[in-house]
Structure 1
Amino acid sequence: MQNLNLKYGYMVKQLFKTENRIVEELCEKCSDYYILHDGIVPSKEEIDEVFTALPPNKNYEDKFVLGIYKFDELVGIVDIIKDYHISGEWMIGLMMIELKERRNGLGRMVHEALIAWATSFRIGVIEDNYNGIKFWSALGYTKIKEVNMKFKIKTHIVDVMRLKF
């Protein structure tokens, strides 16, 4: 995967498990996401899952963990799986951006850079994540179904959303 240069000194490049320390630091800065989603802050093992978790029938050649950098500082991550559930559709497992970098158009810039890879994207967003639902809807995602899912100590209704282009 080639690095993606964005505006204003931002760049997206692939992350590897050997870089889990900087991912751990980012996850600590994004504890609001984990508390909303799971009800607790993540353990080191859960942070490692960013690199290791795979859906059924997928392998590591299908998984990309991308770092969003502002100059040399990691300010976000994106975890995506190609061709899931169908060929050409990519599943965004996680897009997490540090609090100080939110609401400045960065998420939209990253998303626009990623659309060249697929014919559609899919994402699951917990219904309690009102800002997430608003963000993905503004990008053109529509809800295709909802599922009940148990996370650490919380259960959520998850809106499965899709963007076709």
Structure 2
Amino acid sequence: MRHALNTLSGWMGLGPMHTEPAQLEHAPLTMRRILEHNSRDFQALVSFILANPQYRLETEQRHPSRDDALKALYELPPRAKAAQKYLWGIWRGDELVGFVEVIRHWPQAHYLYIGQLMIGQRWQRLGHGRTVLRMLAERSGSWSGIRRWRLAVVASQSSALAFWKAMSFTDTGQRENMPGYLVPLVMMERMAPR
């Protein structure tokens, strides 16, 4: 089940359109929800995923495919409903630099589950992950009953583990083995930001 993927390493943000680097330098990050597989934003997501094989190679020993983008858009964890799922593209100007997927009120009613947060390799270490989490906190702030954020990190992804710890997530001690993954997943949680 793909809902447990989280990393900030090994991805490069390449979308179908490119803005001049000088323009991108000053463009703020924006989040735009991806709702349909026949949209231009979804096609940018497919290009982003296909252009960045490192994560899948490191964790599953395979190249990414268009199916990975479809799973990010549509796949649900057990007992979750489509209305609980949100997939946002992260844009700098007209270039997709990452994406974030969340499941509202899962695995229990008071949780927000971060299924994936991917930032392109050329956009890492610029504070974008932190910015995306602030934007996510703003967007989810009106969702009643959310008290905790939860996610799973592939245990071999040391830079992702360090990032989430820096974002105040703590290791719950739970480990989950997922089919196709070479190592277990580390479950992490934090209180929902206020």
Answer whether contact 1:90 1:121 (CA < 8 A) is retained.
yes
2:38 corresponds to 1:18: yes
**TM-aligned CA deviation for residue 8 of structure 1:** 4.5
Distance 1:61 1:81 in 2: 9
Partner in structure 1 of residue 137 of structure 2: 115
Give the Cα separation in 1 of the matches to 2:69 and 2:61.
15
Larger of the two Rg values belongs to structure: 2
Inter-partner Cα distance in structure 1 for 2:38 and 2:89:
13
Q: Distance in 2 between matches of 1:75 and 1:125?
A: 20
Identity %: 22
Please list every run of 5 or more consecutive structure 1 residues that lacks an aligned counterpart in the other structure: 1-6
Contact 2:49 2:65 in 1 (8 A): no
Is residue 155 from structure 1 mapped to residue 174 from structure 2 by the alignment? no
Question: CA-to-partner distance for each residue in 1:92-118, whole Å, 9 max, x for gaps?
Answer: 111111110011100001111212424
Indicate the structure whose relative CO is greater, using CA pairs within 8 Å and at least 6 residues apart. 2
AA at the equivalent of 2:113: M
Aligned length: 157
Matches within 5 A, 1:21-60: 21-60=43-82
Letter in 2 for 1:15: I
Give me the whole-angstrom Cα distance separating, in 2, the residues matched to 1:148 and 1:34: 16
Q: What per-residue deviation string (whole Å, max 9, x for no partner) do you get for residues 17-62 of structure 1?
A: 2233211111123321121222111122232111111011111110
Alignment of 1:67-78 (within 5 A): 67-78=89-100
Could you tell me the TM-score, scaled by structure 1's length?
A: 0.88
Following TM superposition, by how much is the alpha carbon of 1:88 offset from its aligned partner in structure 2, in angstroms? 2.7
- Alpha-carbon distance, 1:71 to partner: 0.9
What is the DSSP-based 3-state SS (H/G/I as helix, E as strand, rest coil) of the residue aligned with 2:179? strand
Structure 2 gaps, min length 5: 1-25, 141-145
**Which residue identity is paired with 1:11?**
T
AA aligned to 2:176 is V
Please report the RMSD computed on the Cα atoms of aligned residues, expressed in angstroms: 1.5
Per-residue deviation at 1:89?
A: 0.9
Q: What TM-score comes out, normalization by structure 2 length?
A: 0.76
1:124 to 135, 138, 152: 152
Determine the structure 2 residue equivalent to 1:9: 28
Moved segments of 4+, more than 6 Å = none
Equivalent residue for 1:94, pick from 116, 120, 123: 116
